Amino acid sequence: MFDDCIIMAGGSGTRLWPVSNTSRPKQFLSVSEGHTFFDAALERALAVIDHAHGRVIIIAGENHVTHIIEAAKKVNDEERKRLTLIVEPEAKNTAVAIACGVVYAERTSGGNRNMVVLTSDHLITPLEVFKADLAAVCGQQEALAVLGIPPRSPETGYGYIEASQVLSLPPESHVGNYTPRLFKVASFREKPDKQTAEQFIAQGNFYWNSGMFAFSSRFIMAEFKRSAPQIAALFGGLAIPEKSDYTIRDGLSVLAMWPGLKAVYSQAERISFDYAIVEKCAQTIMVAAGFDWLDVGSWDEYARLRGDTGSEVYYSGGRSCFVDSDIPVAICGAEDLIVVVRSGKAGAVPAVLIAKKGATQQVSEIVKQIKDTGKRELL
C-alpha cells in the first residue's frame, strides 16, 4: 500500500459550536464512548500504509497536540512508532498543510513516495472497501487521484467532481465480489446553489468531493511548482530535520521545531489545496467510493449519530430533545430542541446553544455574528 499517509487534523470546527471550537474541533469529539472521529481516521491511516515501512504524518496546530497525543496512546507501541506529528506554526489552509507533509516525506526518505491524504473528521465504513478503493490508485505516478462520493441528495455544502471516461483496472483490484470504479475527471465544480446541485444529481456523473487524495510525491511537487510556485519555492528551502528537532511525548514523535518552518508559514499564501492544485491539474482521476461516508456537518446529524450523551436531564412534558451538557438541564413543555451547554469547566469558555431540530445549519450564522462582534474568545 502507501509509503506515507498525511492526516490533516487542524481546523476550527465551528459547525458544531460551542462544543467544537478552535482548541477542540470536531475531529476530537466523541463518535461513541471513548472513540473520536480522529481515532477512526488514525485507524484508517494505519490500515492503508505499507505494513513494513509505512508512516503516518499528522499535520495540526499547537492547540490540537494534546488531543493527538491522547489518540496515539490508544494504538500499540509498534504502530505509534510509525506516527509523526508536525506542529504547524499557524493555520494556512490545506495547500500549505499538504505541501508541508509531502516535503517532509521526501526529505526524510530521500526519494519519491506513494502518498495518500486523509481527512480526520469523517466516518467511513467498511474499512475493507475503503482500502480496496485506495489500492486501485496506489502507485499512480503521473496523476492526481481523488475519492468521489456518490451523492445521496443535492447538497450545496460540498464541491462536486464531474466524472467522464471510465478507466480500466487490473484484475488484482477485485476484492471478493467488489471491484472499484475508476474514472477520468472532466472538471471540479464549486459548491453550487440548490438548482445547480439538482442538475448535477439528475445528470448522473457528478460526485461529492471528499477532500481525500492520492499521488506520488514527485508528481504533486511538480504540480505545486507549476500551479503554486510561491509555496513550492518556500518549502524547497527547508532542510532535513535533525534528530534534536523532535521531542517524544508519551511515545509520539513530535516535530515542533523544524528550522525554517515558521518563516515558510508566515510567507506562504493562505489557500486551499483544491484552489491551488486540484482544479488546475490536467491529469486527474477519480475513484467512485464504494464505502459509506458521513460528514457530520450539523448538530442534527451529530444528534442522530450520537443518541444519548448521558447528560443529566429532567423533563416535565416532551422528551424529544437532544441534550449535550456538562451540568444538569431541566426542560419543561418544550419539544424537538437541541440543547448544548458548556459551563466553563476545565477552562473552557462557557456558552449555550438552543436550537430547534432541523435548524442547526444556522449555527454558521451565529458563528459569523460572534466573529463580527469581535468576541473570538467564544470560538
| The pLDDT value given to residue 102 | 98
How buried is residue 248: exposed, middle or buried, by Cβ count under 10 Å (0-12/13-18/19+)? exposed
Which range among 174-178, 179-183, 341-345, 369-373 shows the weakest confidence by mean pLDDT? 174-178
pLDDT in tens, 147-181: 999 999 998 889 999 999 999 887 667 677 889 99
13 pLDDT higher than 80: no
Question: What is the separation of C-alpha 328 from the centre of its chain, rounded to a whole number of angstroms?
Answer: 33
- Pick the residue with more confidence: 305 or 349? 305
**What H or E segment, with its residue span, contains residue 220?**
helix 217-227
CATH code given to domain 4-295: 3.90.550.10
Measured CA angle at 153 (ends 203, 179), to 5 deg = 70
d(CA 351, CA 379): 10
Q: What does pTM read for this prediction?
A: 0.92
User: What are the DSSP calls for 189-217, one per residue?
Assistant: EPPP-HHHHHHHHHHS-EEEEEEEEEEEH
The pLDDT value recorded for residue 171 is: 67
Report angle CA 12, 15, 16 to the nearest 5 degrees: 95
Does residue 12 register a pLDDT over 80?
no
pLDDT digits (tens, 9 = 90+) for 272-306: 999 999 999 999 999 999 999 998 888 998 999 88
> Nearest to residue 269, comparing CAs of 235, 300, 306, 243?
235
Is residue 30 over pLDDT 90?
no
- What's the pLDDT at 82? 96
Mean pLDDT of the chain: 93
Nearest partner of 119 among 146, 91, 138, judged by Cα: 146
pLDDT tens-place string over residues 110-152: 889 999 999 998 999 999 999 999 999 998 899 999 999 999 9
Looking at residues 90-111, what average pLDDT do you find? 96
Residue 366: in which H helix or E strand, if any? helix 363-372
Judge whether 58 and 86 are in contact, CB under 8 Å: yes
Instruction: Give me the residue spans of the domains in the chain.
Output: 4-295, 300-378
How far apart CA 221 and CA 99 sit, in angstroms, is: 8
* Three cell numbers written together for 38: 480522529
**DSSP letter string, 98-113:** HHHHHHHHHHHHSS--
Of 3, 9, 4, 2, which is closest to residue 86 (Cα–Cα)?
A: 9
In percent, the amount of the chain with pLDDT more than 90 equals 81
